Amino acid sequence: MNFQHTEDRRMLADTLDRFVSDQYGFETRDKIARSAEGFSTELWNRFAELGIIGALFDEAHSGFGGGGFDIAVVFESLGRGLVVEPFLDTLIVGQAIVRSGNDTQKAALAALIDGSRIVALAHGEPDSHYELSRVTTRAARSGEAWQLNGAKAVVQHGERAGSYLVSARTHGADDAEDGVTLFLVPRDAAGVSVRGYGKIDGGRAAEVMFDNVVLDDDALLGVAGEGFATLEYGIGCGVLALCSEAVGAMDVAKEYTLEYLRTRKQFGVPIGSFQALQHRMADLLLEIEQARSAVINAAAGLAAERKVRERALSAAKFSIGRIGRLVAEECIQLHGGIGMTWELPLAHYAKRLVMIDHQLGDEDHHLERYISLGCG
């Protein structure tokens, strides 16, 4: 297998890396992450103008990429800058629409790609425990319409989204794959209420409640009761994106730490000359390369049949969870007490690496899932 990126992908990565380096420095990022909006509309539009959002979708749907390695390239660069703009949910919701949307819904993808429409995934619930099929939000037929009731937790950028991709159960047991239905719900629909809050690693999320929200059949994404496969694929794209983001963040944490070991002196010599610290850093570099290999495998498997795809994604997310936490801990320890200070960018990279483990399933969840899919 050829692991070298195409020239187009290398150019995309170079363009995005330069833009993030020039326009998304740590002070700018920190100000955006702590703002009331949780991201910068201006920078989101500039990312769109550069074609970064378009790289997440194929040509048939107004983009120019959409493959596993396109997603990996984009999110690795975003991870290097700790970018908080709503790329992840745009990817997940957009890919779900690509997979199951009708012509009208697919036509609306252009608004996602040009940055004029913000969407959010409203799937996780307080008691779902990462289980993808556990959906207790209910949608029931009421005459010619659907009536939606329930609550969703940790909806990324939920306050600013113009619409939500909502998973609801239309029949079956609470944890059954059959019976999961997807709806595209406008933010301003009667009965939708939102409570926003800041996240520990920057940006904002929200709890979104649905109280007798009335939807017609145009809100359906795909066929009623058959939304699980679409949801699984969309979230699989999101898992790949998070793993790639983590690799980008690990690279920067590694670079900060190497620079510190070269410049911090003790007993008149750089601490990087101490053999014990050299061994720890060498082990860390090997772990980061293992994480990179897991992401490459997941990106290559995204287009494969379901079992191969999901095994590769869960293997990558497990590896990223374990290695990301290790990188966070080791880099902070190698920096000493200064590694914990808010003013040092490293602390924010460490925090983001830890939080990535808890998005879309932590390492324990994905290890169990990998085993259940058959690891032989």
Q: The domain spanning residue 302 has which CATH number?
A: 1.20.140.10
- The CATH code of the domain that includes 50 is 1.10.540.10
> Does residue 337 share a domain with residue 272?
yes
> Does residue 193 share a domain with residue 174?
yes
Q: Which domain holds residue 307?
A: 229-372
Q: Which of 3, 13, 5 is nearest to 52 (CA)?
A: 13
> Does residue 276 share a domain with residue 209?
no
Characterize the bridge pairing of strands 163-169 and 119-122.
parallel
Of the segments 40-54, 258-272, 325-339, which one has the largest average pLDDT value? Answer: 40-54
> Does residue 173 share a domain with residue 68?
no
Question: In whole numbers, what is the pLDDT of the chain averaged over residues?
Answer: 94
pLDDT value of residue 338? 81
State how far the Cα of 252 lies from the Cα of 278, in Å rounded to an integer: 18
Q: Which of 97, 79, 376, 95 is nearest to 244 (CA)?
A: 79
pLDDT value of residue 206? 97
> Does residue 258 share a domain with residue 334?
yes
Structure tokens at 292: 């990179």
Predicted TM-score (pTM) of the model is: 0.96
pLDDT at 243 over 90: yes
pLDDT value of residue 358? 95
Number of domains in the chain: 3
pLDDT value of residue 117? 96
> Does residue 269 share a domain with residue 368?
yes
> Does residue 169 share a domain with residue 65?
no
Which of 68, 98, 113 lies at the terminal end of a domain, its last residue? 113
